[in-house]
Structure 1
Amino acid sequence: MLKLGCSRLLLGGHVLLLCLSASWMLAAADVPAGHRRGCPAKCGDVDIPFPFGIGDECALDGFQLSCETVKGVNRPFSKDFEVTNISVPEGTVRVKTLISWQCYDPATGNTAYSDASSNFSGTNFWISEAENKVIVIGCNTLAYMLSSSYVIGCLSTCEEPLENVLCSGNGCCQAEVPKDVRLYRAYFNVDYDNSQTWRSQNSSCSYMAVMERAALHFRPSYVTGRVFSDTYGGKVPVVLNWQIRPWTCEVARQNASTYACVSSNSECLNSTNEQGYRCRCSDGYQGNPYITDGCQDIDECLVNANRCGLEMICTNTPGNYSCSCHPGKNGRCVPPPSTAVTVSTPPAMLVVGPSVGIVIFVTVVACACLIQQRRKLHHMKSEYFEQHGGVILLEKMKSESKQGIVFKIFSEQELQQATNMFSEERVLGRGGHGTVYKGILKNNVEVAVKRCKTINEKYKKEFGKEMIILSQINHKNIVKLLGCCLEVEVPMLVYELVPNGTLYHLIHDNHGQRISLVARLGIAHESAEALSYLHSGVSTQILHGDVKSSNILLDADHKAKVSDFGASILAPNDESQFVTLVQGTCGYLDPEYMQTCQLTDKSDVYSFGVVLLELLTGKKPFNLDSYGEEKSLSMMFLSAMKANKLEEILDDEIKDEDNMDIFYEIAELAKQCLDMCGENRPPMKEVAEKLDRLREVIQQHPWVQQQQNLEEIESLLGEPLASSPTATVSGEYFSIEKKVVNRLQSGR
């Protein structure tokens, strides 16, 4: 009762202050941001704050807008996108983007499509993953967003009655927007439901859009006719983040003529997206940091006249305020909490007693609140732990401890300490499923901590069981799962740290480093062995679900280790356990999976086939900026094979006309992996055996021995010697020998 009474007393005394404070925050958010003199402050009813502006002279480079008349009303546009709101403090801009649709015409029996796209590449903008969602509306509609790096979407079905207004699968489904997306195209999978039962359910149209999550208010009527498109006028709002490019704060400050944070009392913030920065007004100031004197002091006393209470005087100071007693009070006044107080020095006898009482009172209340918060936090962590199957996991660990399984359940505090509170400096990589941090445990063991974004609600309770199975994986070419943390909303995984980067970076960002065919075949064989083990070497088959070169790590000896089981699921036991959320990495996705929504071991085989192509060609799996078949590496490869032009797409580093038979054997294996029908693809065990045989053959080849000799010489001398990657020409080889002899004779 004492605790409750004290809390009520404190809240009762300051509830007005809290409300006024909230009102001030809203008022501050509505303060018009500044613009350059002589430049339009508005276009229609939309404020245009600098660095945005109408025309080149009124905006920073990349923030130019045009003011156009649409149906008699002025509207601002950024290229083809109508702008509806700009926020300088939040670093966001809202634009309208087209809705993608497919509509069936019963009169003609045809289905029309409109697959819209949005492209912000090469601009200061990208799609906010926090403020937007991928939305699919319709009956039996499978649609997805295709970007340069990701494919993500979902399957919307219809179950009578359509009363669900949460967009959770019945008539409407939604998926998270990946991080760092600047361009995307919407696609409908027309082959998903051949019976097209959605026609008979009074649903003539289906829709797909990337849109602001707060703007969607799903109604059952959206799945019938053109209601959804008509409601939003054919376009939906999307929130974009923006930044000043292309420098970090440290670099930008070095050039005063281009540094954008020109207002005094402003600060520079590095972008979390990529190299770039934004500006903000310092605490206690508001306005526009991008214009001179744009950040103005907030008069806290004017905003809230009762900020210091009835017994004290509020005095505004630059960036802050102070509270002092009225004349004659001699310091006998009680300030509200969290204020800067200026009082005259009273006689000690008048102050000691009341001060001690106040201190004791505040201490008791603070301790009571702290205890309550700790209890609440402990209860919440316990709930998360139980939801994620932690109890089952503990029981399994105890029963199987005799088998020597090393697996630990970490606390959130342990992982916070290991990663320096998940510092940006510790980030090893980001992906569609989460962010990976470098961690150092108390025993100085280096680990990789994966902080996942979301977890499928369907598998929450099975998470503990899955952890037990994954912890039993023991293969030299698979990253070892060391433990997990379950007392958080989304579980975190702890893996062994593999220090030498990814296969993707080795192939595409190697900065001139030469990768021999032998090395490439070795990595391919080791990766295939790992996937073969997951598919057939454990008691319960495990599907990886996201096989790609960036999920193949390399250790200090350049041995492959398959990682990132964020997309993996235990193999389903019956047909009801289909995956209804389509997600994966663009260029690697099994086309059969896109049609059926069913992940199988042959889906991993297809993705591995794309990795083989990367190793053969040195090209990226997908390029949205290209045209036709050149967009997809697999399509380009299959076309080259059909035209007998494999040599034209091989990586120049490994190309050798005298050994095309080896390349054709590898290419034939990749072609089998990429078969459109999953049943025709070879199992991973067969793929691994074929790659092992090819590696043995190529290691015995004379030109491989020459290449290895060259690499040893280059390693000793510290620089490349050959003008060609393979050095198969005897004259060149002898000239290299002569160069080495000269080096030795000169004592270098």
Structure 2
Amino acid sequence: MFLPLLYSVPSPRAKLLIPLVVWMALQLLAAAVTAAAPVALPGCPEACGGVTVPYPFGFRQGCFHPGFNLTCDETHHPPKLFLGDGVEVDEISLAGGTVRVQSRISTFSGSTSYMNLTRPVKPSINSSGLWSGGLTSTGMQLAVSTEHNVFAAVGCNFIAYLAVNPGGSEYVSACAALCDNSFPAPEDTSCSGVGCCRTSIAQGLPAYVVKFKDLGQTDDSLYTHNVSAFIVDREWFNGVNVGAMQSQKFHFGTNDPFGHRPKVTSVPTVLEWWLDSQRDDDLILFVPNSGWRCISLNSFAVGMSGAINCNCSEGYEGNPYFAHGCQDIDECLQPDVYKCLHGTCINMPGTYRCSAKKSIISLPGLITVIAISAGLGLLFSILGVSKITNKLKQRRAKKLRQKFFKKNHGLLLQQLISSNKDVAERTRIFSLEELDEATNKFDHNRILGGGGHGMVYKGILSDQHVVAIKKAKIAVQREIDQFINEVVILSQTNHRNVVKLFGCCLETEVPLLVYEFISNGTLSFYLHGQSENPLSWKDRLRIALETARAIAYLHSAASISVYHRDIKCANVLLTDTLAAKVSDFGASRSIAIDQTGILTAVQGTYGYLDPEYYYTSRLTEKSDVYSFGVILAELLTRLTPVFSSHSSEVTSLASHFVSLIRENRLSDILDTQIVDEGGADDAEAVARLTEACLSLKGEERPTMRQVETTLEDVLNSKVNLSSQITRVNQNASNDHSYKGTNAGEGTRLYSLEKEFIQSSEIPR
């Protein structure tokens, strides 16, 4: 309303104020009138209820591409959108190529059963169901998104398998859920294997079969009935209180016996959809020498030949699946009011340009002084507001860092450092600014490696010291506790073969750990075909000895006894001289002097986990001995801890190795490089030591100090094969042979271990 009034005043003084005021007003008004690009065909509805329905999807005749028809049920208030066999649709994404649906949950009882996630069937030993995302008759191309979903199961003492076909001959995922006499805490959302387990989906397919197997560990029916499994949206499931659902014997898909909670019948699942480029000729065109392109101008195809999605080009928005669906974005109407501060914004197809601004003829005298003063005043006001805002941000950031420091037990660590001179010399508390500068604000080019729990960055401190900085990906209490546990253990540990912890930063939500930089990677990298220079037999013996020394030190010579709980090749780092360094103490536990073991939740890694610890939950020093025995088997064979045999059956290296040793068939599995280097005699001695370490009864295994002594003798060529077993186990009971003579019991237990390796996932 005020713009015509300004233009109607002919005064030159008023004209001086018009350009800036008018320009700012036009930019703010234009931001509110940007037209939305169409997503459906002309004359077709674009939404059902609160769900946008873009073409090629549609629910009216002539509004969808063949095979992409949906149903809008207007009997609901608001209306609901369905696909296939009555599966409710929550969201359709053109850019991501996904459909988010409500997938039904099935509940099962008994020891073995199959399920259909979208069409529940009555549990039965011999029944099976095919899950296909709710589509049984349409031609839509759909598959489960391995990026957005996880396979989860809720219940007690069972294993859930995700298989490709009803016969279950090809598994793609598996997880195990265990329970003891207590349930998870009501606020527990980890689903880490106690009452609930979750795992990634290895292969995205349109259909799966889910198979259950009862572990049969207890007679309590509470632990063997009412188990459920489902494929669920990863982000949604991260916030589910599994502990609350487990309390009062409550499970997914079942009614609360106390009447306090509603029945949960479905969970969100993300499906990927695509166009079949061999069939959808009316949607996809082939242009010689240019590849595939989508039907709308200013669009491009994403994906491989035969299964693609389309997106609008940069500077355009809308629907690339029909003609003129991608429309130009008028950048001049965007809320970026400073886009052309020194000129006029002119929209162009896919972009914009700024024309030079005509200069204003300056007026002499007082008008010029007033204009300059007003401009400077406005500038200083903006700068002042910006400075105040920055100070407020810095103050809030400082308070947040102080909050995290206290939450991460920073005061306790400061007290430990101040009261212990040795710890103070080895451990330092870094500020966040120091590590930001050392890693160039955690630049992607500084990443050394990482996994599901975090990333490791290369850092250069102000004193030019090169370090490795470990940063967690997710901020959950379990990760924070593991980081703090590692700080406490390593700050009191000093051994040449244990990775050195320089310090930590406690000013972030999850602490940052600063280690010495180990440049040569992991032992796993050298053993399993990834390195062009395989390790010699002498180097392998020396690395085994150095690793044994580190573990023996942790067990019996450190200021506090420590059980590592995750000994594996990936946690043995190698320096430039191939010296071994044991790392990753996040899962470790410190033990009192008068204790020989503790009861704790099972943690470990496929193929390395002590079966006795798995079945009893009792962690002892012999659990690390078993894991080290698997490393010795890897050094002798260069096979992975879990591998596929000639019959395509998943095999445990530990059980396979012990079986061959007892049949005097070491040559069948021994690495040929060891024989070529003339190390067959030494290898036989190490193999016998490996067999002893892999004994299924912890009391029959040697201690790590005995293992260290034996490896020293082998390396120095002093070992006596006929007396080696007796000497190493000289303190063992006469009733328990070092080699484990109860062949029947050994076979039974190793078959149980094999079954566990093949079908369960242990939380790490």
Q: TM-score, normalised by structure 2?
A: 0.63
* CA distances 1:513-544 after superposition (whole Å, capped 9, x unpaired): 34322221111111111111112221222222
- From the superposition, tell whether residues 570 and 345 of structure 1 become closer, same or farther in structure 2 (CA, over 3 Å): farther
Which residue pairs with 2:316 in the alignment?
285
Pairs within 5 Å for 1:33-52: 40=65, 43-45=68-70
- From the superposition, tell whether residues 698 and 233 of structure 1 become closer, same or farther in structure 2 (CA, over 3 Å): farther
Q: Alpha-carbon deviation of 1:43?
A: 2.2
183-192 vs 602-611, which deviates more? Answer: 183-192
- From the superposition, tell whether residues 94 and 509 of structure 1 become closer, same or farther in structure 2 (CA, over 3 Å): farther
Q: Is this contact kept in 1: 2:154–2:228, CA < 8 A?
A: yes
Q: Alpha-carbon deviation of 1:387?
A: 0.8
Matched, 1:428 2:454: no
Distance in 1 (alpha carbons) for counterparts of 2:575 and 2:491 = 20
Matched, 1:194 2:218: yes
Distance in 2 (alpha carbons) for counterparts of 1:559 and 1:263 = 60
Q: Alpha-carbon deviation of 1:25?
A: 11
Q: Is this contact kept in 1: 2:91–2:100, CA < 8 A?
A: yes
Q: Is this contact kept in 1: 2:526–2:534, CA < 8 A?
A: no
How many residues in Structure 1 have an aligned counterpart in Structure 2?
A: 608
Which residue pairs with 2:392 in the alignment?
372
Matched, 1:639 2:656: no
Q: Is this contact kept in 1: 2:54–2:94, CA < 8 A?
A: no
Matched, 1:127 2:159: no
* CA distances 1:102-125 after superposition (whole Å, capped 9, x unpaired): 62389xxx996999999xxxx999
**Seq. identity, %:** 34
Distance in 2 (alpha carbons) for counterparts of 1:516 and 1:365 = 67
- From the superposition, tell whether residues 577 and 588 of structure 1 become closer, same or farther in structure 2 (CA, over 3 Å): closer
Distance in 2 (alpha carbons) for counterparts of 1:440 and 1:87 = 43
Q: Alpha-carbon deviation of 1:191?
A: 5.0
Which residue pairs with 1:361 in the alignment?
381
- From the superposition, tell whether residues 85 and 363 of structure 1 become closer, same or farther in structure 2 (CA, over 3 Å): same
Q: TM-score, normalised by structure 1?
A: 0.64
Distance in 2 (alpha carbons) for counterparts of 1:521 and 1:531 = 15
Q: Alpha-carbon deviation of 1:307?
A: 12
Q: Alpha-carbon deviation of 1:390?
A: 0.6
Distance in 1 (alpha carbons) for counterparts of 2:106 and 2:681 = 47
Pairs within 5 Å for 1:292-691: 296-299=327-330, 316-319=347-350, 345=360, 347=362, 349=368, 351-401=371-421, 405-454=425-474, 457=477, 467-571=487-591, 579-580=600-601, 583-623=603-643, 630-655=650-675, 660-691=680-711
342-351 vs 24-33, which deviates more? Answer: 24-33
582-591 vs 481-490, which deviates more? Answer: 582-591
| SS of match in other structure, 2:716 | helix
Q: Is this contact kept in 1: 2:161–2:175, CA < 8 A?
A: yes
One-letter amino acid of the structure 1 residue matched with residue 317 of structure 2: Q
Distance in 2 (alpha carbons) for counterparts of 1:239 and 1:567 = 35
Distance in 1 (alpha carbons) for counterparts of 2:171 and 2:505 = 32
Distance in 1 (alpha carbons) for counterparts of 2:484 and 2:34 = 42
* CA distances 1:55-101 after superposition (whole Å, capped 9, x unpaired): xxxxxxxxxxxxxx965x7x9xxxxxx99977453476768999797
Distance in 2 (alpha carbons) for counterparts of 1:322 and 1:611 = 64
Q: Is this contact kept in 1: 2:158–2:215, CA < 8 A?
A: no
Which residue pairs with 2:155 in the alignment?
138
One-letter amino acid of the structure 1 residue matched with residue 253 of structure 2: V
Q: Alpha-carbon deviation of 1:368?
A: 2.7
Which residue pairs with 2:269 in the alignment?
237
* CA distances 1:226-248 after superposition (whole Å, capped 9, x unpaired): 72699787987257799xxxxxx
Q: Alpha-carbon deviation of 1:428?
A: 1.6
Distance in 1 (alpha carbons) for counterparts of 2:424 and 2:570 = 31
Q: Alpha-carbon deviation of 1:205?
A: 1.4
Distance in 2 (alpha carbons) for counterparts of 1:639 and 1:83 = 53
Q: Alpha-carbon deviation of 1:626?
A: 7.1
* CA distances 1:427-470 after superposition (whole Å, capped 9, x unpaired): 22222332112111122211111112357636857965752441
| SS of match in other structure, 1:484 | strand
* Aligned with residue 253 of structure 2, among 213, 227, 237: 227
One-letter amino acid of the structure 2 residue matched with residue 601 of structure 1: E
Which residue pairs with 1:732 in the alignment?
none
Q: Alpha-carbon deviation of 1:648?
A: 1.0
Q: Alpha-carbon deviation of 1:418?
A: 1.8
Distance in 2 (alpha carbons) for counterparts of 1:46 and 1:341 = 54
| SS of match in other structure, 2:425 | coil
Distance in 2 (alpha carbons) for counterparts of 1:388 and 1:188 = 40
Which residue pairs with 1:692 in the alignment?
712
Q: Is this contact kept in 1: 2:497–2:547, CA < 8 A?
A: yes
Matched, 1:207 2:223: no
Q: Alpha-carbon deviation of 1:420?
A: 2.6
Distance in 2 (alpha carbons) for counterparts of 1:566 and 1:21 = 54
Distance in 1 (alpha carbons) for counterparts of 2:93 and 2:614 = 38
Which blocks of at least 5 consecutive residues in structure 2 are unaligned? 1-24, 40-45, 58-62, 73-82, 113-122, 132-141, 164-169, 256-261, 275-287, 722-764
Distance in 1 (alpha carbons) for counterparts of 2:633 and 2:358 = 76
Q: Alpha-carbon deviation of 1:560?
A: 1.1
Which residue pairs with 2:760 in the alignment?
none
Q: Over aligned residue pairs, what C-alpha RMSD do you find?
A: 5.9
221-230 vs 494-503, which deviates more? Answer: 221-230
| SS of match in other structure, 1:654 | helix
| SS of match in other structure, 1:405 | helix
596-605 vs 652-661, which deviates more? Answer: 652-661
* CA distances 1:132-190 after superposition (whole Å, capped 9, x unpaired): 55644235778899999999776567879x99486467998667867999899999895
Larger radius of gyration, structure 1 or 2?
A: 2
